[in-house]
Amino acid sequence: MNQITPQPGIMDIALYEGGASHVAGKSNVLKLSSNENPLGPSDAAREAFSRAVHDLHRYPSTDHGALRAAIGAVWKLNPEQIICGVGSDEIIHFLCQAYAGPRDEVIHTEHGFAMYRISALAAGATPVEVPERERVTDVDAILEACSGRTRLVFLANPNNPTGTMIGAGELRRLAEGLPRKAILVLDGAYAEYVEGYDAGAALIAERDNVVMTRTFSKIYGLGGLRVGWGHGPKAIIDVLNRVRGPFNLSSAALAAAQAAVQDTAYMAKCRDENARQREWLAGALAEMGVPSDHSTANFILARFADAAEAEACDAHLRNEGILVRRVAGYNLPNCLRITVGDESACRRVAHAVGQFK
């Protein structure tokens, strides 16, 4: 019988999102640990979800045609080049399953999102960690780390947990410099927070080695429903569809996601409100001696004097009922990642950090 050996990275999952179990049954807990949208989903998405409940005995669509058409219309992409998955986690997983095997290497950046490593290990491939420069993606370091075995290069832009991002010129230089068999995966989980950012769509239109992943878990406020999508050259999307199960997304999740992406006014409102609160929070913490890099996403990476101070502040916040993310596992022991909440949440977290300081 085959022995299934747990891979080291998979053990990190419990730490990776500080999920619902941390808040179950407790009152007045402020969860700022998972980069969720404090405003929740749009009313249109909630209503679509409720309507879908009438048809729960029906299997969902297998090709996600309506959702892909809606995404394509909003983002001006060809629906034939879109694939939908159970969160963007599943798209990351499909990429590793389809393109990375035991002799292959998968590159991710030093502080990059944990799923890249976990999915690479699950596919039997070797994750290769590349240093960043002052918490910003270093394209030269990635290119230097590439070898004939590199199959995938994962890069979140904006990056989680740093919140920093690199520009279109750097992305192009990276895509152009990769070895022949390598695919650049631009993870756009936070792309919608950056007004006017195309998440790599123009690059994908020109090249055959670039893919983007996107999610409904962040700005669209649908993390609980687990919907994400990918866009890339048709040849790659076709391969990913071969490792996708036919009914990977539920009908209610599909309906809510479709309504959410169509509600572009609500998305813009969430983006603008996030930017306002983020600048306020970053400014308030900086005045208390807790700096952060300029964030382009819906969280800030607050830097403390050292690991002990970060840990002590985390403990104080927990005591006050505020959950933020320790990022020691991301090699950032002196930092705490704090999701940008609504106005009262930002005031509450700033007040608690002020008490600590």
Footprint on this chain of ligand PMP (rule: CB under 6 A)? 35, 87-89, 113, 156, 160, 187, 189, 215, 217, 223, 228
| Cα 352 to Cα 28, 176, 191, 340, distances in angstroms | 14, 47, 30, 15
CB of residue 332 to ligand PMP, shortest distance in Å? 14
Residue with token string 């491939």: 125
Of 127 and 228, nearer to ligand PMP (C-beta) is: 228
Q: How far apart are the first and last CA of the chain?
A: 57
Q: Give the residue closest to ligand PMP by C-beta.
A: 87
Query: In the complex, what is the shortest distance from the CB of residue 60 to ligand PMP, in angstroms, rounded to a whole number?
Result: 18
Q: Which is nearer to ligand PMP, 150 or 213 (CB)?
A: 213
Q: How far is the CB of 230 from ligand PMP (least distance, A)?
A: 11
**Closer CB to ligand PMP, residue 94 or residue 113?**
113
Which CB atom, from 165 or from 350, has the smaller least distance to ligand PMP?
Answer: 165
- Whole-number minimum distance, CB 253 to ligand PMP, in Å? 12
Q: How far is the CB of 306 from ligand PMP (least distance, A)?
A: 26
Nearest approach in angstroms of CB 356 to ligand PMP is 26
Q: Report the residue number, 298 or 350, with the smaller CB distance to ligand PMP.
A: 298
Q: Which is nearer to ligand PMP, 113 or 197 (CB)?
A: 113
User: Closest CB to ligand PMP among 190 and 356?
Assistant: 190
Minimum distance between the CB of residue 168 and ligand PMP, rounded to whole angstroms?
Answer: 19
Task: Give the nearer residue to ligand PMP in terms of CB position, either 99 or 356.
Answer: 99
Rg of the chain in Å (alpha carbons): 20
Q: CB within 8 A of 107, min separation 6: which ones?
A: 127, 128, 130, 142, 145, 146, 150, 152, 153, 154
The minimum distance between CB 88 and ligand PMP, in angstroms, equals 4
Residue 261 tokens read as 């992406």
Q: Of 187 and 192, which CB lies nearer to ligand PMP in the complex structure?
A: 187
Pairing of strands 150-156, 183-187: parallel
The residue type of 114 is A
CA distance 286 to 298: 17
Q: Taking the complex as a whole, how short is the minimal distance between the CB of residue 34 and ligand PMP, in angstroms?
A: 7
d(CA 102, CA 149) in angstroms, rounded, equals: 10
